[in-house]
Amino acid sequence: MRDAQAPCDSSRVTPKPKKKPERPYNRTLRLVYPSTDGQILLRTDLDWDRSIPATRRVDDNTWEFDLSADRSWLHYKPTLVDGNGHVHWAPGMNEVVTLSRTMPYVVYPHFLGDDTGHITDVFTTPSELLGREVPIRVYLPAGYDENTLKRYSVLYMQDGANAFLPDEAFLGQDWSMRQTLETLDGMSLIHQTLIVAVHTEDRMVDYTKPGFDTYARALATEIKPAIDARFRTLTGRCDTSLMGSSLGGVASFACAWQYPDIFGNAACLSSTFGFQDDLMDRVRHDELGVRQQLKIYLDSGWPRDNYESTLAMSAALLERGFILGQNLHHVAFPGDGHSESFWGERAHLPIQLFAGRLRRHFGSEAETRGC
């Protein structure tokens, strides 16, 4: 239980505008939290000592606050006053809301837990297609257990043993995905996301031709339905992403290309395109259809690190009508090598593309035709 406390990062100085705008900035902040006998209030950096009551309570689970300020953003903290009068601040960094938008800003706060998520123990889900039990770990964001009204986008990672824990990772170097997600969440930059780290038994079978076709089918028709049944997920294609590196990047691309109606986003880092796959040929000749709506992120280090094959795949997608900066993103990183440490450092980029708040709320008409 958390009693009253100062807002996080209270040393940050909020700049005062030199000149008041002709009209104030306004926006509605909508807080969604399971029905409680307590009271949901708001504090902002306009005056951290003043509690702001809700402008309206839409229903048992929804409080709305009409905010107004002389600048276009505010730091804020939701608070819960329980039946005993104890004040519980939402844990973690002060959150940021922009006021230059008419659409309500929806937040699913939590108050009684930590500001960090947790990683499940390894569990298995059966795959008849692969003929084995598939080991999985899942990262659950902060507040998952408390605010049961929220559902989450999902990122499926290949080579899942490398996602979270050095004890499991190749050469003891994991991607530090938990830390990356929690940093981006603390910045109010992304929608909270589940990471499903899918372990593989033999990546040379699962991530190359012809095995990756069976692996893609298992991920789409067996593993994803099992995850959706077990966790509170958003199940649509735009909320379902894939990420992998090297051969895992090839597998991620193959899964999205084969099942674009299920996986809307694919991040392929330092991918070994052309090593033992036919993906370039598929991109050049397959009927596009819904594939045109995929959002694909390709990157590599340089020199080597599959730079040339990644560049060639990007060019092939552009030839088929993908648009750079909209549904195709290609980035190269001079000096980066072929290892988990480099991939972990870059993972925040596709996560921002797939789950970023600004991307989802302010995407152009051309972008929103896809994800």
Q: Following DSSP, what letter does each residue of 213-264 receive, concatenated?
A: HHHHHHIIIIIHHHHHHHS-B--SGGGEEEEEETHHHHHHHHHHHH-TTT--
The pLDDT > 70 percentage for the chain reads 91
How much is the pLDDT for 19?
67
Question: pLDDT-based confidence at 102, cuts 50/70/90?
Answer: confident
List the domain boundaries for the chain.
Answer: 25-107, 118-368
Q: How far apart are CA 258 and CA 251, in angstroms?
A: 10
The burial class, CB within 10 Å (0-12 / 13-18 / 19+), for 37 is exposed
Per-residue pLDDT tens over the stretch 304-346: 999 999 999 999 999 999 999 999 999 999 999 999 999 999 9
How much is the pLDDT for 36?
87
Q: Do 198 and 134 contact (CB within 8 A), yes or no?
A: yes
Residue type, position 181, single letter: L
Tokens of 295: 């959002």
How much is the pLDDT for 2?
41
Q: How far apart are CA 99 and CA 27, in angstroms?
A: 5
Q: What is the mean pLDDT of the chain?
A: 93
How much is the pLDDT for 367?
42
Query: 118-368: which CATH topology?
Result: Rossmann fold (3.40.50)
Closest CA relative to residue 191, chosen from 108, 120, 93, 80: 108
Architecture field, domain 25-107 = Sandwich (2.60)
Question: pLDDT-based confidence at 364, cuts 50/70/90?
Answer: very low
How much is the pLDDT for 11?
47
How much is the pLDDT for 368?
44
How much is the pLDDT for 30?
97
In the numeric block, the tokens 């039946």 are attached to: 83
Average pLDDT over residues 131-156: 98
Q: Lowest-confidence range among 76-90, 100-114, 239-253, 313-327?
A: 100-114
